[in-house]
Amino acid sequence: MRSLSAVGAGTLFANVIAYALFLVLNRALGPDELGAVASLLNLVIIAGVAALSTQLVSAWRVALHRPGAQATALRTGAVVGLVATAVVAALTPVIVRVLHLDGPAPVLLVAAAMVPTCLIAAVQGTLQGGERFVVLGTLYAVVSVARTTGGAVAAWLGWGVSGVMALTALASWLVSFGALALVRTHVRAALSSSAPTQVRRVLAGMAGTSALLVASTIDTPVARHVLSGEDSGAYAVLSLFAKAAFWGPAFLATVLYAGMSRAKGARPLLVALGGTGAIVLVGVAFSALLSGPLVRIVGGPAYTHLADLVPVFTALGGAWALAQVLVFWGAARGNHAVGYLVWTAVAAAAAVVVLWRDGNVSEVATTFLVASLVVTAVGVWVSVPRGARDVARS
């Protein structure tokens, strides 16, 4: 219970602070700039897909008490971060064109945030695998506070899109140094040239374990590409409800992951699915009941006309939260089938939006909602043992 409380409180606080950033951005930036910043912040998550894989591989090795697991995690995070930086930098011209940006600077700043993002993920993995949940929850909160403060200060000072991304990247670097202090006894070993890495395992697991990071964020850049500047800003406001529904229950899968790695039966999976499902149902009902006041709080009076779409976005994030439990369960067993299913569904949804359903915010959102529901339904069917399904139905 203490573990759930610690990680849950840290995750909740981190989410609240992250949403506070958008409360500032929604009022400091125009719709077009808001759409650009939201897409770039989501791009940080998408470009850091290797970070989640790094965290889970690290947690798995530490949970199983592999020799030198902590040092291996840190060295792996650094190497993977450098690779991610190179990939984003190489794709900068394409990203600038797709997101309709004025220049390459914001994207290069995203690239600059990759190394600290992966280092932080490596530290989080060692804490998660070692079941140091109080420290892990605290780190989640500190990361969010630092990034939010950087972005909010830049927006308040009127530094525009590049300024927001610059201070966000700087905050990531500062937090990464603080995170390394939590595992400082392993830093020297990680710096040794003889220290092994788990880069191959991270890359192998990326397609599965990190699919949810893409799934929960790709719709905003897609919306930025196909919608007008004003509509992409509206989509960015509504996407906050999807993120709240996705990240809100995430602490359950995080806390139970180490147990999933060692479990003989399906109990940790059923507990995580049941708890996550209950939180999602409450969230969707709450968002439907108070959609008007909620959208005014998040976006301001200018976005009140979007209230009817709040439950849609909440359901979208909630479905991905359930899928995350299934992806984590598979990752703990070296089975990434649900992760591959997520990639397939997201690619199909993005293609449908770009080719046919690009008329308005509602069409984009409902297309990705259908994809998330299909993944969740099929994922439960293939992941939950038949006996457990029969018990649940009886």
What pLDDT, in 10s, does the model give residues 10-38?
666 776 777 678 778 877 887 788 888 88
- What residues does each domain of the chain span? 1-201, 210-394
State yes or no: pLDDT of 374 exceeds 50: yes
Query: Based on C-alpha coordinates, what's the Rg of the chain?
Result: 20
**In the chain, what percentage of residues exceed pLDDT 90?**
34
Question: Residue 210: what pLDDT?
Answer: 64
State yes or no: pLDDT of 394 exceeds 60: no
Q: How many CB atoms lie within 10 A of CB 313?
A: 29
Q: How many CB atoms lie within 10 A of CB 52?
A: 27
Q: How confident is the model at residue 4 (pLDDT cuts 50, 70, 90)?
A: low
Question: Residue 391: what pLDDT?
Answer: 44
Mean pLDDT of the chain, nearest integer: 84
Question: Residue 390: what pLDDT?
Answer: 46
Better-scored residue on pLDDT, 371 or 240: 371
Distance (Å, whole) CA 198 – CA 79: 10
**In the chain, what percentage of residues exceed pLDDT 70?**
89
State yes or no: pLDDT of 132 exceeds 70: yes
- Give pLDDT tens digits for 288-323: 999 989 888 887 788 788 899 999 999 999 999 998
Question: Residue 353: what pLDDT?
Answer: 92
